[in-house]
């Protein structure tokens, strides 16, 4: 178990020197407290004997050592000096406690930050299949909630060690004061510690259940927060409120049950420890004839050890309770590492002079027996416009995902200028590609920040040039704040066409070798479609870039240099618009229907 904890600690970045320093601070804290309490025995004796040093030496061996120590420092024994020493030890205890608490808290927050960064980095480095299968709410809950609890579960054993050191220190004094009573007390406490064992085991299960409840709630919340308009227009507010209330109720019940288990431990242990103290008071007075100052000190220390004993058991229970978040974070991190994208290339993709070739490429999704793409062999000429069309589910998006290696072909090879794309580094391959999605993904920020996304060091001139090429510059310049206008999340104040052109400007500013536009006109009206077509013409004439467009609207891609018709995962036809109308059945019908409805 200890070895397992050490391995987990190393995994999250908790080093041996850090552990050692925290333990040393705990030892120093215990040392100063023990001496601070222990010195009260000679203080009580000094007061009782009214400062008669000779009488004190004759009655107690301890006083011989005290007098010799004072003589060594050429100091006379007095009540004020003894009280000053006691106070100094307590000040020392507070200083060491402060150092330990601040250091441990600082390390905890740094580990949380480090682990959050690690999870986020691994998430972005994981393959597309992982992103497809793991809900965003799951990842969000892991990063924002569970990581904090996971780090707490790693740090709790150090706190447990601190309490154990303190308990051993207290017991050593109690043993010196009355070894008989201390042995009895230890045996009773050991048996008493077995009582909460069943609750501790339950805490581990409740911790895992609470982690699951948090994950489900987070996933539900993120999906609904992204779609308030849909919820209201669909008239499902009552149903959604009911479902959310049900999820929060389950989370609340698990949290309360966890708190009850911890409270039971406190309730059971307190009477046992207080009872032991009262028994000691009775037995020491009636049977052992102990001096009143010894009885008093013993009770003080016994009362000091009471919260420490409780803390040892509650810390252990808390560790069990936090195993759920720790296991979840570990599992999620391991899944991401196993899903990490392979990057074995070492060439830099700087230019595309000839073409992009798909040679006998097939792809099937994980856990699927059927191919999404089968034996695709096609050449996409450089610095030309190639359109990809076909019915829904024909494999167009899958085709596009293969080029930047978001998905890896099951068989076949993709080449750029006759070089296998696997020989290029992932960074250089993807930096050469700009992607414009069907629904522009615009983060909260200014227009300039959005256009610069992907090239943070782009100059103002580059921004303006990209906006001009995308046909959005006049609109931006009419705004009171121009390029410094804040868009808000998803830029809800912009029209579909404005969002589209703004995102095209973002794609252009990095001067990519390839631009991929995924259904760019699906949410546009007729006027915006025409503006998009003119924008494509302008880009084609003024930029050396290979453009690949996925589209259902055949009118907008009629001027393409090459149109590829995909159907059921295979290339059905390749040609220009006029040829495909005549020779491809699906294309001819689709174009005719669209003309009739436009």
Token pair for 218: 């987070």
Buried b (16+ CB within 10 A) or exposed e, 226-262: eeeeeeeeeeeeeebeeeeeebeebbeebeeebeebb
User: Would you say residue 319 lies in a domain?
Assistant: yes
**What pLDDT does 120 receive?**
92
User: Would you say residue 378 lies in a domain?
Assistant: no
**What pLDDT does 229 receive?**
66
Do residue 103 and residue 117 come from a single domain? Answer: yes
Contact 459, 540 (CB under 8 A): no
Contact 78, 86 (CB under 8 A): no
**What pLDDT does 531 receive?**
75
* Chain centroid, CA 391 distance in Å: 39
Report the C-alpha gap between 394 and 517 in whole angstroms: 17
Report the C-alpha gap between 464 and 460 in whole angstroms: 6
3-state secondary structure of 571: strand
Do residue 274 and residue 133 come from a single domain? Answer: yes
Residues 6+ apart with CB under 8 A from 140: 218, 222
Q: Which of 480, 511, 542 is the last residue of a domain?
A: 511
User: Would you say residue 126 lies in a domain?
Assistant: yes
What is the gyration radius of the CA atoms in the chain, in angstroms? 36
Tell me how crowded residue 530 is: count the other CB atoms within 10 A of its CB.
15
What's the 3-state SS for 235-256?
CCHHHHHHHHHHHHHHHHHHHH
Complete DSSP assignment for 343-378: ----B------SEEEEEEEEE--TT-SS-SEEEEEE
Query: How does pLDDT run across 472-495, given as a tens digit for each residue?
Result: 888 888 888 888 988 877 777 788
Report how far apart, in Å, the C-alpha atoms of 386 and of each of 3, 396, 440, 523 are. 59, 13, 21, 21
User: Would you say residue 360 lies in a domain?
Assistant: no
**What pLDDT does 398 receive?**
92
Residue of 555, 121, 157, 490 lying closest to 340 (CA atoms):
121
Backbone angles phi, psi at 116, to 5 degrees: -60, -45
Do residue 67 and residue 24 come from a single domain? Answer: yes
Query: How many alpha carbons fall within 13 Å on the CB side of residue 374?
Result: 9
Do residue 397 and residue 286 come from a single domain? Answer: no
3-state secondary structure of 580: helix
Report the C-alpha gap between 64 and 53 in whole angstroms: 9
Do residue 266 and residue 165 come from a single domain? Answer: yes
Contact 223, 288 (CB under 8 A): no
Residue of 524, 537, 539 lying closest to 467 (CA atoms):
539
Q: Which of 338, 365, 395 is the last residue of a domain?
A: 338
Q: Which of 476, 511, 546 is the last residue of a domain?
A: 511
3-state secondary structure of 425: coil
Do residue 331 and residue 395 come from a single domain? Answer: no
Query: How many alpha carbons fall within 13 Å on the CB side of residue 46?
Result: 17
Report the C-alpha gap between 292 and 275 in whole angstroms: 19
Range(s) of the domain holding residue 135: 2-338
User: Would you say residue 344 lies in a domain?
Assistant: no
Q: At what angle do helices 79-125 and 323-338 cross, to 10 degrees?
A: 40
User: Would you say residue 468 lies in a domain?
Assistant: yes
How many structural domains is the chain composed of? 3
Report the C-alpha gap between 218 and 282 in whole angstroms: 57
- Which segments of the chain have a pLDDT < 50? none
Catalogue the E-assigned strands of 253-370: 355-363
Do residue 585 and residue 476 come from a single domain? Answer: no
**What pLDDT does 573 receive?**
92
The CATH number for 546's domain is 3.40.50.300
Residues 6+ apart with CB under 8 A from 10: none
User: Would you say residue 134 lies in a domain?
Assistant: yes
Complete DSSP assignment for 145-182: IIHHHHHHHHHHHHHHHHHHHHHHHHHHHHHHH-HHHH
Tell me how crowded residue 507 is: count the other CB atoms within 10 A of its CB.
24
Give the H/E segment covering residue 397. Answer: helix 396-402
Report how far apart, in Å, the C-alpha atoms of 296 and of each of 36, 51, 188 are. 15, 19, 21
Do residue 45 and residue 145 come from a single domain? Answer: yes
User: Would you say residue 403 lies in a domain?
Assistant: yes
**What pLDDT does 453 receive?**
87
**What pLDDT does 261 receive?**
78
Do residue 195 and residue 90 come from a single domain? Answer: yes
Report how far apart, in Å, the C-alpha atoms of 123 and of each of 140, 335, 522, 582 are. 11, 10, 30, 47
Do residue 520 and residue 505 come from a single domain? Answer: no
Do residue 21 and residue 64 come from a single domain? Answer: yes
Sheet holding 546-550, edge to edge: 433-436, 514-518, 546-550, 385-389, 562-567, 570-575
Burial class (CB in 10 A: 0-12, 13-18, 19+), 286: exposed
Report the C-alpha gap between 57 and 301 in whole angstroms: 25
Tell me how crowded residue 16 is: count the other CB atoms within 10 A of its CB.
10
The CATH number for 43's domain is 1.20.1560.10
Do residue 401 and residue 459 come from a single domain? Answer: no
Report the C-alpha gap between 563 and 573 in whole angstroms: 8
Residue of 142, 155, 144, 159 lying closest to 111 (CA atoms):
155
Report the C-alpha gap between 305 and 299 in whole angstroms: 10
**What pLDDT does 576 receive?**
92
3-state secondary structure of 454: coil
């Amino acid at each position: 178990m200890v070895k397992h904890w050490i391995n987990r600690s190393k995994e999250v970045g908790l080093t041996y020197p850090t552990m050692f320093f925290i333990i040393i601070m705990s030892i120093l804290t215990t040392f100063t407290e023990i001496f601070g309490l222990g010195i009260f025995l000679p203080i009580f004796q000094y007061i009782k004997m009214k400062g008669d040093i000779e009488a004190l030496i004759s009655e107690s061996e301890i006083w011989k050592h005290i007098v010799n120590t004072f003589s060594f420092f050429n100091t006379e024994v007095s009540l004020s000096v003894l009280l000053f020493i006691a106070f100094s030890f307590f000040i020392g205890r507070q200083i060491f406690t402060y150092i330990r608490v601040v250091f441990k808290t600082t390390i905890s927050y740094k580990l949380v930050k480090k682990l959050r960064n690690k999870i986020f980095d691994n998430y972005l480095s994981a393959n597309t299949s992982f992103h497809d299968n793991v809900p965003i709410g799951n990842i969000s809950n892991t990063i924002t909630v569970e990581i904090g609890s996971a780090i707490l579960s790693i740090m709790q054993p150090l706190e447990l060690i601190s309490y154990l050191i303190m308990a051993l220190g207290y017991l050593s004094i109690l043993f010196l004061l009355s070894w008989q009573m201390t042995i009895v007390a230890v045996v009773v406490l050991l048996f008493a510690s077995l009582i909460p064992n069943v609750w501790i085991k339950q805490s581990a299960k409740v911790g895992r259940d609470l982690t699951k409840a948090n994950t489900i709630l987070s996933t539900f919340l993120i999906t609904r927060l992204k779609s308030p308009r849909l919820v209201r227009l669909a008239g499902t507010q009552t149903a959604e409120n009911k479902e959310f209330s049900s999820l929060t109720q389950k989370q609340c019940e698990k949290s309360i049950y966890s708190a009850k288990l911890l409270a039971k431990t406190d309730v059971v242990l307190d009477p046992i420890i207080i009872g032991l103290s009262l028994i000691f008071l009775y037995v020491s007075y009636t049977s052992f004839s102990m001096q009143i100052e010894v009885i008093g000190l013993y009770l003080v220390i016994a009362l000091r050890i009471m919260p420490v004993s409780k803390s040892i058991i509650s810390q252990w229970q808390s560790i069990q309770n936090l195993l759920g978040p720790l296991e979840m974070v570990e599992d999620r991190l391991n899944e991401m590492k196993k899903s990490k994208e392979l990057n074995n290339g070492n060439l830099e993709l700087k230019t595309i002079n000839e073409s992009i070739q798909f040679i006998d490429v097939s792809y099937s999704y994980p856990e699927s027996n059927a191919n999404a793409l089968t034996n695709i062999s096609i050449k996409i000429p450089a610095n030309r416009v190639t359109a990809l069309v076909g019915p829904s589910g024909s494999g167009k998006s899958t085709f596009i995902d293969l080029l930047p290696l978001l998905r890896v072909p099951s068989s076949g090879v993709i080449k750029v200028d006759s070089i296998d794309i696997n020989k290029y580094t992932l960074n250089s391959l993807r930096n050469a590609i700009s992607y414009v999605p069907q629904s522009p993904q615009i983060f909260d920020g200014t227009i300039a920040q959005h256009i610069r996304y992907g090239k943070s060091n782009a100059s103002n001139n580059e921004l303006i040039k990209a906006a001009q090429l995308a046909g959005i510059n006049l609109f931006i310049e009419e705004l009171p704040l121009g390029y410094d206008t804040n868009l808000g999340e998803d830029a809800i104040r912009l029209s579909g066409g404005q969002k589209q052109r703004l995102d095209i400007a973002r794609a252009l500013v990095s001067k990519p070798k390839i631009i991929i536009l995924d259904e760019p006109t699906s949410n546009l009206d007729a006027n915006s479609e025409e503006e998009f077509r003119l924008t494509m013409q302008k880009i084609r004439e003024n930029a050396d870039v290979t453009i690949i467009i996925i589209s259902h609207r055949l009118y907008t891609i009629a001027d393409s240099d090459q149109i590829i018709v995909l159907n059921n995962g295979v290339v059905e036809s390749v040609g220009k618009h006029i040829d495909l109308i005549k020779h491809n059945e699906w294309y001819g019908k689709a174009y005719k229907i669209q003309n009739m409805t436009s």
